[in-house]
Amino acid sequence: MGIRTSIKELIYGKKEASIVYYPAFDSSEELTSHYYRACWYFPAQDNECKAVYLYRKSDVVLLDRPEYMGKSNVPTDHIMIKTELSKLKRAAENAKLVLLWNKCDDGFADVLKQRGVAVVNVATNDETAAEYGRYCDLIWRYFKSDKDKKQIIQNSYNLFAKRAAEIKKKNWKTGCVFGTGPSLETAKEFDFTNCVSVVCNSIVQNKDLLAHINPQFVTAGDVVSHLGVSLYAEVFRRDLTEYLKNSEAYYLTTAPFGYLLLEQCPEIAHKVILVEQQTDEQNFDLTQLFCLPKLDSTFNIHMLPIIHTFCDNILILGCDGKSKTRNNEDFWAHAQEAQYFDLVDTGHKCHPTFDINRKKNTYDRYQDSVIHSVVEGQKRHGKRYYTLQQSYIDALEDKRLPDELRKNFNEQGQLILSEIFEDISEAKTEKEILKENISITRNENEVLVSGWVLAKNTCMIEIYVDNKFSGYAVRNLKRPDIYKKFPEYGQMFGGIYYNINCADPAIVTWKIVENGEVLEELTKKI
């Protein structure tokens, strides 16, 4: 808790773990719209949001859930509609978060902020509010403690690290990334066996295609189409849930938005990997730095960091850019069986300002992000990028896989992608150059492994409790002091942490391991 927050609590009292909409609703349509948004975005069971209040005028009623909106998967008894308007201002002053669904007295909003109340504009008709983006991270931002967030990220890192170890044992050299563009329809021309594969978005609806690709990871992070309240997003989550439950694939997404899945879709919580966006640069190994870049689109934010972790040779299909022969719905065309065409309009009805804001600069940001990722990958990390079909994205337009690399085909006439790079020799890895400062400390019923690690090569920090493997320390904490002291490593995020719930005395060990070899270790009884 910050000093300013503590002072405000001393003056005004501690805030209730509640959300209050302001002002009182004078429209049944607006009340209905925000009530059903609250049902999806504000689940109560695993966070500190204990109550949500919507005050209405006497002639305003709650209507049926709009047909373009999805439903909550968990109880919503904590979301309450009130009529005692005389109590509204007091409720707002005592709330942790006030949501402005309509314009109100700026002076009152300023008073709320001075009292330590968070105030967020969620008006659906206000372009500057961008409610579709604001709604989705409110629970993570205001109702999850820093300790809880760290524990969630730690759990996700251990899911990813375990899966990564399994994949790396296979020593596959080829990575495949799949967008939803029209060229995805040619996927059956290729054999993806023995490739690390990552699919995205609405590909999850196509069972036949998923069976052919057999991806290790699924990604999606759009706050409207995948993690929001629209019917489109609900159908996507239904298909995602079914696929994750019946496959070995994991779903990786951005933590503040994806957290809702842990509460709303608990049956797949063990398959959901949440990562925060922390760096301005592309990430080339999620096992070393467990965070995502602040770039644009799931291709740059999620898919490339995953595939970079495993492969230097990256093949791309379905990332076509603006089609020259098909209707470019949104910014580009989609493969026929990888888009919910009849549901697209439900997202626009749910979020009236989304399309307006998106058209201003999203496509240019996407183009810039791809250039950023590909150029950095080629020049600094030795990555090779090829498209299996022609792409019209600036950074990929001249990267179609050349015919001379299209040699080996299986009995079905499919190009065997895993054999394309077999003859390319791997560079020898130099002996690890390592610096570290790791400590093990106790705080009542918890043990914390913390400090920092700088490494030139890929290594992991294994944690053992009473000689039994517990998990991997997360490396994603910003340490500008260490970056300044050891600039030759070029690692701003060298800080590590691992929390252990342990009330009794225990023997705790950390080991820094590279390719199965223990480089350094320390054991402490605590």
Q: What is the mean pLDDT of residues 376-400?
A: 95
3-class DSSP assignment, residue 4 = helix
pLDDT band for position 330 (cuts 50, 70, 90): low
Residue 199 in this model has a pLDDT that exceeds 90: yes
The 10 Å Cβ neighbour count of residue 433 is 11
Residue 8 in this model has a pLDDT that exceeds 90: no
Q: What is the mean pLDDT of residues 459-487?
A: 96
The per-residue pLDDT for 336 is 87
Partners of 293 in the beta sheet?
A: 279
Are 397 and 370 contacting, i.e. CB atoms less than 8 angstroms apart? no
Q: What is the mean pLDDT of the chain?
A: 93
Smallest Cα–Cα separation from 415: which of 445, 443, 386?
Answer: 386
- H or E stretch covering 435: strand 434-443
Ranges assigned E (strand) in 59-114: 79-82, 95-100
CA dist 374 → 112, 179, 181 (Å)? 46, 16, 19
Instruction: Please report, rounded to a whole number, the percentage of residues in the chain having pLDDT higher than 90.
Output: 85
- DSSP assignment, residue 453? E
> Residue 145 corresponds to which amino acid?
S
Are 80 and 38 contacting, i.e. CB atoms less than 8 angstroms apart? no
pLDDT band for position 10 (cuts 50, 70, 90): very low
Cis link prior to 352 (omega < 30° from 0)?
no
The per-residue pLDDT for 12 is 56
3-class DSSP assignment, residue 47 = coil
Cβ-Cβ contacts under 8 Å for 33 (sequence gap 6 or more): 66, 124
Ranges assigned E (strand) in 71-139: 79-82, 95-100, 118-121
Cα–Cα–Cα angle for 181, 184, 187, rounded to 5 degrees? 170
Cα gap 356→364, rounded to integer Å:
15
**What are all long-range contacts of 261-270, with beta carbons under 8 Å and residues at least 24 apart?**
261/227, 261/237, 262/46, 262/152, 263/43, 263/45, 263/46, 263/47, 263/74, 263/139, 264/40, 264/43, 264/72, 264/73, 264/74, 264/237, 265/73, 265/237, 265/241, 267/241, 268/240, 268/241, 268/244, 270/159
Q: What is the pLDDT of residues 414-442, one digit of tens each?
A: 999 999 987 665 555 566 789 999 999 99
